Amino acid sequence: MATVLNVNDDEANRYLVNRILEMSGYHVLEAATGMAALLMAEKHRPDVIVLDVKLPDISGYEVCARLRANAATSAIAVMHTSATFITPDKKVQGLEGGADAYLTQPYEPSELIATVRSLLRLRHAEQQARLRTDQLIEMDRRKDEFLAMLGHELRNPLAAIMTAIGILERKGPVDTKEARMHGIIQRQTHHLARLVDDLLDVSRITRGKVELRKEPLDLAESFQQVLSILRPRVEARGLKLEVRLPQTPLWLEGDATRLEQIFTNILDNAAKYTDQGTVSVELFQEGVDGSAQAVLRVKDTGIGIPPEKLAGVFDLFAQVDTSLERSRGGLGIGLTLVRTLVRMHGGSVEATSGGYGEGSEFVVKLPLLAPERIPLLNAANAVDARQARRILLVEDNSDARQSMRELLELWGHQVAVAPDGVQGVEMALTHAPDVALVDIGLPGVDGYQVAQALRARVGRNIRLVALTGYGEVEAHTRALKAGFDLHVTKPVRPADLERILSNL
């Protein structure tokens, strides 16, 4: 049974409305003043309030405003009634002030009941929508927690595999068959790692959780690194890769990891949708000084994009290949990430195609640094990447620990290992390492606590690097607050790890 609060200082009018409502099956409460109505509304939470505008203490307009301002009563339906304020401007004032309906007296009993029923239906629909929204928010929160845990659980084994690949590459294959197997493992592991990153990134992007870690960098050099990884993949598909790069650096302020992600997704997309022919890549500068921008043009001779799908090619989960066999693979999120990350760098991206069988072209434009902001390179600051260091590795995954240790020792470093945080802190105190590579998800004492303990007991004489499967912005921020110098998401490529150690 719905409850209606009837607020009117006229006793006869109040009694009449009460009887009409009660005869229609409603439970009726009553109040003669505005303040009494506010108290009863907060205490009893009626479904509808029939509120006269002219009251002896405060007006019905003011009562409605206070009801809407109070979180406990803001959802209650309010219907103004008045025999005095009946002009259109008064009705507008009441409705603009938060009322859901406005009846002028005299009105028929059937009109009153019909309006009450209408307001009840409206409030019921709003309650259902609010409940559904709360459920969706909770489901989204659980989904985010699941994705974070999924990323951690997937990245740990990927880290061990990728490190082991780095060791095999250093030793070289025994024969051509073994070399092919190494290549297959390497390509598929990188592909799986990229899928995991894309899956987690799209969740962060939809929540606005992606932050760029910008620094001045040479775009041409970054692109060269991507090419060195992707060229074998493209050529393994029997495609010809034509590349034209600038002879001079292209300096911009950007996030190196995110820029590599942009390049990788675009090039991988071009190779994936090209069965035979050529993938042409051109990187060059357009404009001068303050208006200069880097332009990346990637053109393929692949299956092309039909006109009806071209406009939505950057939309989330959009797929050009929708056939049952799904021969092209992919999650349909790579180009969404490209567009978002390019825009976050202040750039633009567009796609063109002549249709099926006509190939595609993607053009990315990114703003370059003004000449006065380009950093001066000092050769005296260069650090020998092969400089031997004392390294402490704290990792609870035995495969990851063993493969990482062998890789670091292969580079000439002295390596001590610990399977948990407690032993890690003890070994840091006894072995005095230059660098500590610390996993976050450790048993007992986690990596954050290890970093805090080392900063408190060792000080700033040790470089701390968080190696973790948790790649969220929150995890990065928490790592820096705990005392880490760097936060690196697993799996880390051997070449990247070598660069990190040289830069410390």
Q: What is the pLDDT of residue 113?
A: 94
Q: What is the pLDDT of residue 295?
A: 95
Q: What is the pLDDT of residue 393?
A: 95
Q: What is the pLDDT of residue 356?
A: 87
Check whether 297 has a pLDDT greater than 70: yes
Mean pLDDT across the chain, nearest whole number? 85
Nearest to 270 by CA among 297, 307, 309, 250: 297
Which pLDDT band holds residue 461 (cuts at 50, 70, 90)? confident
Paired tokens of 478: 């928490």
Check whether 280 has a pLDDT greater than 90: yes
Paired tokens of 154: 């997937």
Measure the CA–CA gap between 404 and 160, rounded to whole angstroms: 7
DSSP string of 423-483, one letter each residue: HHHHHHHHH--SEEEEESS-SSS-HHHHHHHHHHHTTTSSEEEEEES--SHHHHHHHHHHT
Pick the CATH number of 215-373 from 3.40.50.2000, 3.30.365.10, 3.30.565.10, 3.40.50.300: 3.30.565.10
Which pLDDT band holds residue 169 (cuts at 50, 70, 90)? confident
Give the 3-state secondary structure of residue 358: coil
* Residues β-bridged to residue 435: 391, 463
157, containing H or E segment:
helix 109-171
Which pLDDT band holds residue 376 (cuts at 50, 70, 90)? low
Q: What is the mean pLDDT of residues 151-163?
A: 79
Q: What is the pLDDT of residue 378?
A: 40
Q: What is the mean pLDDT of residues 313-333?
A: 58
Q: What is the pLDDT of residue 372?
A: 75
Paired tokens of 16: 């009449």
Q: What is the pLDDT of residue 19?
A: 94
Check whether 261 has a pLDDT greater than 80: yes
Q: What is the mean pLDDT of residues 287-296?
A: 86
From the CB of residue 376, how many other CB atoms can be counted at a distance below 10 Å? Answer: 4
**Pair type for strands 48-52 and 293-300:** unpaired
Check whether 385 has a pLDDT greater than 60: no
Edge-to-edge strand list for the sheet holding 360-367? 240-244, 278-286, 293-300, 360-367, 348-353
Q: What is the pLDDT of residue 121?
A: 92
From the CB of residue 315, how many other CB atoms can be counted at a distance below 10 Å? Answer: 13
- The pLDDT tens digits of the residues spanning 85-103 come to 888 899 899 999 999 999 9
From the CB of residue 340, how many other CB atoms can be counted at a distance below 10 Å? Answer: 19
Give the 3-state secondary structure of residue 273: coil
Q: What is the pLDDT of residue 379?
A: 38
Residues of the chain with CATH 3.30.565.10: 215-373
* Residues β-bridged to residue 352: 361
Residues in CB range of 311: below 8 A, 6 or more apart: none
Angle at 284 between CA 283 and CA 285, to 5 degrees: 145
- The pLDDT tens digits of the residues spanning 196-225 come to 777 777 666 666 667 777 888 899 988 888
300, containing H or E segment:
strand 293-300
- Positive or negative, the Cα torsion across 407, 441, 496, 462? negative
Q: Which of 3-7, 16-20, 324-328 has the lowest mean pLDDT?
A: 324-328
Paired tokens of 274: 């090209």
CATH topology of domain 3-107: Rossmann fold (3.40.50)
Q: Which of 42-46, 383-387, 432-436 has the lowest mean pLDDT?
A: 383-387
Residues in CB range of 344: below 8 A, 6 or more apart: 210, 212, 258
**Pair type for strands 435-439 and 414-418:** unpaired
Measure the CA–CA gap between 292 and 289, rounded to whole angstroms: 5
List Cα–Cα distances, 475 to 212, 214, 315, 448, in angstroms: 14, 18, 28, 10
**Domain covering 144-210+381-504: architecture:** 3-Layer(aba) Sandwich (3.40)
Q: What is the pLDDT of residue 69?
A: 93
Q: Considering only residues 461 and 364, tell me which one the structure prediction assigns the higher pLDDT.
A: 364
Q: What is the pLDDT of residue 329?
A: 52
Location of structure tokens 């690196």? 488
Check whether 446 has a pLDDT greater than 80: yes
Residues of the chain with CATH 3.40.50.2300: 3-107, 144-210+381-504
Measure the CA–CA gap between 247 and 263, rounded to whole angstroms: 19
Q: Considering only residues 451 and 193, tell me which one the structure prediction assigns the higher pLDDT.
A: 451
Which pLDDT band holds residue 319 (cuts at 50, 70, 90)? low
List Cα–Cα distances, 112 to 8, 18, 116, 125, 363, in angstroms: 15, 11, 6, 20, 63
